[in-house]
A and B are shown apart, each in its own frame.
Chain A
Amino acid sequence: MTENYIGKATRSKEGPRHATGRGHFTDDIILPGMLQAMILRSPHAHARIVGADASAALELPDVITAVVPSDVVAYTRPFKPGRYAAGLRKAIPEYATAVDKVRYMGEPVAAVAARDRGTAEDALELISIDYDALPAVTDTADAIKPGSALLYDELESNLAWKGSLTYGDIDGAFKSADKVVKENLKIHRYSSTPLEPFAIIADYDAASRKLTVWVNAQVPEVIYDALREALDLEDIRVIIPDIGGGFGQKIHLIRKYVVIVSLLAIRSGRPVKWIEDRSEHMMAAGHSCAQEFAVEAAVKKDGTVLGLKFREIDDVGGSTSTLTIHFTNKLNNLVNTYTVQNIALEGWSVLTNKCPVIPNRGIGKPGMCYIWERTMDRIAEELGLSPIEVRRINLIQPEQMPYTTPSGNVYDSGDYPGLLQTALEKIGYDKLREEQKRARESGRLLGIGVVIGVEPGGRNAARDMAIFPEMKESPGAGGVNGATIKLEKNGTIALFLGSPNCGQSHETTTSQVAADVLGIPPEKISISIPFDSDLAPWGVSAANSGNNFHLYDIGAVHGAAMKLKEKILAVAAHVLRADAAQLKIEDGAVHAPGSPVKKVTLAELGKIVYGNQAMLPKGMEAGLQATYYYTFPHAEPNMVPGPDRKVRAQFTFSAATHAAVVEVDKETGKVHVLRYLIVGDNGTVIHPSVVNGQIYGSAAHGISVALGEGFVYNSEGQLLTLTLTDYGKSSAEETPKVEIIHRPSPSPFTTLGQKAAGEGAAIPSPAAIAGAVEDALKPLGVRVRDLPLSPERVWNLIEEARR
């Protein structure tokens, strides 16, 4: 395959429409007779619902329909616990709205549809819901004390799940340790807060019993299954227009709202649109999980980590439906980049009266990286070693690739020592240490943090069976997604992707891949949007996330393009009376070797295959279209875990080192990021601007999380951060400059050597900032364990250390 376009910054296919305001978002769509919906949400963090009456709302002119909990129970079925809730002692079905109880401020309780949005909002004020307030549970330690108010009586405890697993000989490791280094760490609740909140239009054709929904959901399968389950419908069409940011926020809880809006559409007989407000999104769209870690590392005095143990307490909020995702995902980067052979993990999922958690960018992996990288710094401190040497001595070496980890992951490629060394060189580490010395003499607090992290990619839900061997239904192993490619009659190419997009330039990237296979320029390839479940060749990995797209969609597009190419050459061989193996596609035509005359254009081929039966090879199917469904061919061994619980949690492994240089204002606690450098390995980079964009964006977010953005609840479970400003989202002024250096180790297992680039820098960046701030505050005896490092919290650390 001639590499003409892969690796180049080809012109964006998405850019022109976004730059001209012609992006095609859900709220841009208007259907005839469409109503506008509003959702009524619980003002209480914890309460019983003892009455609901929408009659006053329905009396307002132009209010067409309303649903209260009793309607939801009467006309929909609850979601049965899915794989995210595996491990629940008792199956707890969940309706789209609260039914007998509310368990978090903002939980949806009722909904109304009216002819215009203002009227719908007026109507909400007329729906009366009677609540019996209950004590709110907001602290995980309090939540599991006997006598605490219970979120689910049937579970008998707010500790909804506890589990553990061990790989290797953890006891042996701790017995033979020279030292055991302990640390307690905390990460807070945050979110990637996509700029476009949830947006849904539902249109039900009662005569044909077909429901069509337009929704900015990242995973069509979740919506599809949710509608079938809740509304008992078979003919469902899910259309996904441009999405204004996903980041994992638009995967799971959005299904509740699709059901509510669909119910309104079914009851009213009209299309219904619902556009979420920012404050609703902050309260109820989903949060990343606050996690507490108690970590112990068994180490030799040279810094070798013999074993790692950690217990994790996850504050999962007011729903059981995503009980264990932040723990199970620890299996994906469990050993980070290190050779440790013995590792034990224990997870507790604690329910609280806060927003339920969802798979926000990284899902538990930032926590795992935080565990490792804070612990490595602590090990260095307690053994009197350099934090760089402690990492170096534990790194998996490039000669060991492909490397099987104790939990069964197979790292495809990576040069971790090289990434570390390059980071140290480019940040000028030794010089920085000297500068730090001089700065300390003049009372300035300069700090350097260097961390390393893997970014796993690919999908394997069977991973959960390693933690829940009792799972009755296999959650579906590996991943599948498809693509269809078609030569049009005029010689251009139409490409139908199996995934929706939320801004990762899928159209641009896949056109580069198809262009290289087919030998035609990407401008001649058009991608069909939006995602339409009736038409798209989609499978379980249809999800716009870096985890999946780089592997399944790229593989599918490549496969489909190869199939199409084969057929193009076969038809051309027939037409040119030549040997297919000798033919070349160039400049929009198939050429016979050495003969400038003997060629046939793609347009001419198009005309033949779609319209001239006489010129087709005998017995060949007409048309020039190919569909290919891709599965990762190297998914074994351990795609499904056996009794040893080893499993391929994910399949590809990007990695990066991050170096952060900070200065802390001693008087105010404010942290200034002076430099931030990333040396990244994303394998073969298909489009550098696209990959860089993902790295810049994920880094900016992780840094902002570390420095103060985050959700804050009071002790009554009231969310105090309802706006982006109260939440602390960084603007261009608050975001530091990030430098990126690429040092790829292509994967030997993927179609083009490409690896993931999506969750990326969100995984190591909180640890990088924590390490740098601790390093800056070392002269004051401060230890950094908990995030976020807002100015006040840093000031408190300084004050505490002074006392």
Chain B
Amino acid sequence: MIPAGFEYFAPSSLKEAVELLSNYKDDVKILAGGQSLVPLMKLRLAKPRYVVDLSRIGDLNYIRGAGGALHIGALATHSEIENSEAIRRDCPLLAQTAATIADVQVRNRGTLGGSLAHADPAGDMPAAILAVDAELKASGPSGERWIKAEDFFVGFLTSALEADEILTEIKVPIKSGGKSVYLKAAQRASGFAVVGVAVRLTVANGNCNDIAIGITGVTDKAYRAKNVEQALKGKKLEAELIERAALRVVDGVDLLEDINGSKDYRAHLARVYTARAIKAALAT
């Protein structure tokens, strides 16, 4: 229940925060919303000697439109994203996905940046981020760099961030005419995705113009279902084609197996939910 002892820092600038990360390397953890880190610390599965609270750094929580993109500060909470007029208008998939996370208390504190950096293999936002072609800004001692969403999720609880980098912004291109949906088979109590499918597509002249599918819950990290996308791009999205394409969603993927689902069941659910999500997106 009570974490191992640690020293607490609440820097007021990003520079200070990055310095602390560089100084303390493997012994330090970033505290954003705390909805993922604090449980790990209370279970003593994580025992950082230093904790860096980002919440006193100004201007890490914003949602702004500029240059044809939505710029979301890493500390924007799931609640803020769910309720943001700008996001609902310009990238509804993010708002709809955020609304399915856990419960209102978790959404009020959990941050987009925190949940992406944590890279939980069953997290909802990773799937959505993949489906909207987002770019993620990492700030480190040598400056800033942009990481594409599809390069961001590297492995189990592992993102592409270096140990001394902080995720500071998520940039989402504003594309018009998109149809999108996030569907998940939720674990009955936590709401975590046993399988989660985020779809964003555009249709032109009855054919699928563009489609991006983000999958979560199925393997050690969220991923783009490129097999399925390729089978559908440029084609007429009829039910039979969708279902056939969806069968390929876990091809070549190392499936998770746990108390929430065996490999076989997960594979089956992934196919079912992929087909359902595409059809549901079409209907929006």
Contacts and interface: CB of A to CB of B under 8 A. Distances in A.
B269 interface: yes
Interface stretch (B148-156, B198-206, B257-265): B257-265
A728 interface: yes
A179 interface: no
Contact of A731 (B1, B4, B44, B189): B189
Given A117-B2, A118-B2, A122-B4, A791 B185 contact: yes
Given A728-B189, A734-B188, A721 B2 contact: no
A668 B260 CA distance: 13
B272 interface: yes
B5 A118 contact: yes
A668 B276 CA distance: 12
B187 interface: yes
Contact of A720 (B1, B259, B265, B269): B259
Interface string B36-61: 00000001100000000000000000
A791 B184 CA distance: 14
A442 interface: no
B189 A721 contact: no
Interface in A656-700: 667-668, 670
A731 B262 CA distance: 24
Contacts of B188: 707-709, 728, 730, 734, 790
A795 B268 contact: yes
Given A712-B259, A792-B261, A734 B189 contact: yes
Contacts of B262: 792
A727 interface: yes
Interface string A305-343: 000000000000000000000000000000000000000
B190 interface: yes
A277 B272 CA distance: 39
A183 interface: no
Interface in B82-140: 103
Contacts of B187: 725, 728
B177 to A, nearest CB: 30
B106 to A, nearest CB: 11
Contacts of B261: 792
Contacts of B192: 725
A179 B208 CA distance: 61
B265 A792 contact: yes
A726 interface: yes
Contacts of A727: 189
A442 B91 CA distance: 36
A423 to B, nearest CB: 27
Given A121-B1, A121-B2, A277-B1, A725 B190 contact: yes
A709 B4 CA distance: 32
A722 B135 CA distance: 37
Nearest to A120: B2
Contacts of B185: 668, 670, 791
A743 interface: no
A730 B192 CA distance: 14
Most buried by B among A279, A667, A730: A667
A726 B259 contact: yes
Contacts of B269: 668
B8 to A, nearest CB: 14
A724 interface: yes
Contacts of A728: 187-189
B76 to A, nearest CB: 25
Nearest to B42: A277
B244 to A, nearest CB: 15
A707 B187 CA distance: 12
Interface string B1-45: 110110000000000000000000000000000000000000110
Nearest to B271: A667
Which of A118, A668, A729 has the most C-beta atoms of chain B within 10 angstroms of its own C-beta? A668
B4 A725 contact: no
Nearest to A670: B185
A93 B269 CA distance: 50
A795 B194 CA distance: 15
Contacts of B103: 731
Contact of A795 (B43, B259, B265): B265
Interface in A91-142: 117-118, 121-122
B33 to A, nearest CB: 18
A606 B4 CA distance: 59
A708 B187 CA distance: 10
Interface in A181-196: none
A712 B257 CA distance: 14
Among A117, A670, A728, A792, which residue has the most Cβ atoms of chain B within 10 A?
Answer: A792
A795 B1 CA distance: 37
A117 B1 CA distance: 9
Contacts of A729: 189
Nearest to B1: A277
Contacts of A712: 259
Contacts of B2: 117-118, 121
Contacts of A707: 188
Interface in A281-298: none
Contacts of A668: 185, 269, 272
Contacts of B43: 279
Contacts of B1: 117, 121, 277
Contacts of A277: 1
Nearest to A714: B259
Contacts of A121: 1-2, 44
A447 to B, nearest CB: 19
A668 B272 CA distance: 8
Interface in B159-197: 185, 187-190, 192
Contacts of A122: 4-5
Nearest to A275: B1
B119 to A, nearest CB: 19
B259 A730 contact: no
6 closest pairs, A vs B, by CB? A725-B190, A118-B2, A725-B189, A792-B265, A667-B272, A728-B189
Interface of B: 1-2, 4-5, 43-44, 103, 185, 187-190, 192, 258-259, 261-262, 265, 268-269, 272
8 contacts: A277-B1, A668-B269, A724-B189, A726-B189, A726-B190, A728-B187, A734-B188, A791-B185
Given A721-B259, A795-B268, 6 more contacts: A121-B44, A667-B272, A712-B259, A725-B189, A726-B259, A792-B265
